[in-house]
Chains A and B, each alone.
Chain A
Amino acid sequence: MTDRKMPIYLDYSATTPVDPRVADKMIPWLTEHFGNPASRSHAFGWEAEEAVENARAEVAKLVNCDAKEIVWTSGATESNNLAIKGAAHFYAAKGKHIVTVKTEHKAVLDTVRELERVGFEATYLEPEPSGLVDPAKFEAALRPDTILASVMMVNNEIGVIQPIAEFGEILRRKGVLFHVDAAQATGKVPVDLASLKVDLMSFSAHKTYGPKGIGALYVRRKPRVRLEAQMHGGGHEKGMRSGTLATHQIIGMGEAFRLARLEMATENERIRMLRDRLLDGLKGMEELYVNGDLEHRVPHNLNVSFNFVEGESLIMGMKELAVSSGSACTSASLEPSYVLRALGRNDELAHSSIRFTIGRWTTEADIDFAVKLLHERIGKLREMSPLWEMYKEGIDLNTVQWAAH
């Protein structure tokens, strides 16, 4: 096992490597075909524009919408900002209330916070302990002056899939715009914008084997959704997002999404098998908690808490694995994952969570190596843990008076 490539990458939800087939497609557009797609007076511009439009069509095909509804951005963070701020400001005369969920990505939460600062009002819904939002509670949060709701399709930490179709029906009936952050969804779950009542949807390339620094926003045409631009300039992208198009990045995203469309069905089967193998390998372990609903979940994600072991020491003890911890205790604020806290997990379990995300180049041998390592290292850390010792002695840790520091 010592000749394995270390560390083993199990953090595909943080980012994915660019698929070599994607990289190959991108390179000529950096060197040879370097034209500005906005140049209308010569062949350099024409060929770049044609390639950009082909890529736009590929992105549209993966999510079953019209290519004209796709606006290029720098990534899902920008898409979220453009969608939420752009729609809120455009429709501000209709109302000032926005509904979102506590487990959204910071790119949504902080954008909504910013809107609150300038006079909008927001409701942050609490998910169920499964991580899913109850549609009845969702509907109950809507007010006559609600203009926009924003819910992510797939959660980045726990991988749960929200009932977007149901939310869409409710919102359309109530005449409320619906934004969905689908950064973690493309290539993992089918997205059909022809049937979903979604008005705005954010995409990212680098979570789906494309390059970083490129994303897109879907803006529905029927019924038409209007946005106030957040980036002003040359009026690119129908005035919704000015700035010279990054041809090579766009081509990378188009190719990545094309491959996702062609390969996702078979790829996801393989990935589900690996995820189940990982879960089965850990199942015998005491005091192991799976975070988030296992059924309504992308196959790539396994998020577990190892009780009585602290997250950062766990990550440090698993330097052979590149994974994410739910504990941000490396920062000065000692904050456990806000997503796990929103599910009602206590601080200890939130601190001791690890997110494994599996992807295109994960192998069975990688999973088996990870399982063996986890058993060994968690055993060692628990031997070192006073909390584990107390648990084994039958002490209820909730009855202990801790001196907070």
Chain B
Amino acid sequence: MRVTEGKHMAYSEKVIDHYEHPRNVGSFAKDEEGVATGMVGAPACGDVMKLQIKVGAGGIIEDAKFKTYGCGSAIASSSLVTEWVKGKTLDEAGGIRNTQIAEELALPPVKIHCSILAEDAIKAAIADYRKKYGEEDGAQKAAD
């Protein structure tokens, strides 16, 4: 662990890497086919995560993008899950647990809530997808 300036601010190398080189930052066009959005958190709490997934044929997540307002650990958690959900089915993606995120990023106890938020963001995006397009086979129809 590298300790950066400031009290309590101990970040793992992986958090720093994701913070400095965030993966998949951005947004899909609003009307893009197969896109669903999960937005979780609240500005008053200091974290808001927006996770978007783009589901293709066969119900596979083809692409993902995020925007996060939050601390370095929140940014890293959301950046990490955009990588992890790609290539997964909705059910597989929905199975990602916050403990896996926390472990991968070596989050300290005070930052566990960032990993919980990232898990919630995936679930919210999946729920949005199902609301918009029905179940996975609906996506295939939409993609046809």
Contacts and interface: CB of A to CB of B under 8 A. Distances in A.
Interface of A: 7, 308-313, 315-317, 319, 322, 325, 327, 329-332, 334, 336, 346-348, 351, 383-389, 397, 402-405
Given A310-B47, A319-B4, A403 B41 contact: yes
25 contacts: A310-B71, A311-B46, A312-B71, A315-B5, A315-B9, A316-B9, A316-B71, A316-B72, A327-B46, A329-B46, A330-B6, A330-B7, A331-B8, A332-B110, A336-B46, A347-B46, A384-B69, A386-B48, A386-B49, A386-B50, A389-B67, A402-B44, A402-B48, A405-B40, A405-B116
A404 B44 contact: yes
A310 B46 contact: yes
Interface stretch (B19-27, B80-88, B136-144): B19-27
A148 to B, nearest CB: 32
Interface of B: 4-9, 11, 19, 22, 25, 27, 39-50, 67-72, 74-75, 109-110, 113, 116-117, 120
Kindly name the residue among A311, A312, A322 whose own CB sees the greatest number of chain B CB atoms within 10 A: A312
> Main secondary structure on chain B at its contact with chain A?
mixed
A384 B75 contact: yes
B69 A405 contact: no
Nearest to A329: B46
Contacts of A311: 46
Contacts of B8: 330-331
Contacts of B47: 310, 405
A310 B7 contact: no
Nearest to B19: A316
B70 A313 contact: yes
Given A310-B69, A310-B70, A315-B6, A347 B110 contact: no
B41 A389 contact: no
Given A316-B4, A322-B5, A386 B69 contact: yes
A330 B75 CA distance: 14
A10 to B, nearest CB: 11
Contacts of A388: 69
A330 B25 contact: no
A309 B69 contact: yes
Q: What are the 6 tightest A-B residue pairs by CB atom distance, in nearest-first order?
A: A402-B42, A386-B50, A347-B44, A312-B71, A386-B67, A330-B8
B42 A404 contact: yes
Nearest to A309: B69
A126 B40 CA distance: 33
B22 A384 contact: yes
Contacts of B22: 384
Kindly name the residue among B40, B46, B75 whose own CB sees the greatest number of chain A CB atoms within 10 A: B46
Given A312-B72, A347-B46, A403-B41, 18 more contacts: A7-B5, A309-B69, A310-B74, A311-B46, A316-B4, A319-B5, A325-B6, A330-B9, A347-B44, A351-B43, A351-B46, A383-B25, A389-B50, A403-B40, A403-B42, A404-B45, A405-B40, A405-B42
B46 A405 contact: no
Contacts of A309: 69
B5 A384 contact: no
B71 A329 contact: yes
A405 B9 contact: no
Contacts of B70: 310, 313
B78 to A, nearest CB: 9
A393 to B, nearest CB: 10
Contacts of A405: 40-42, 45, 47, 113, 116-117, 120
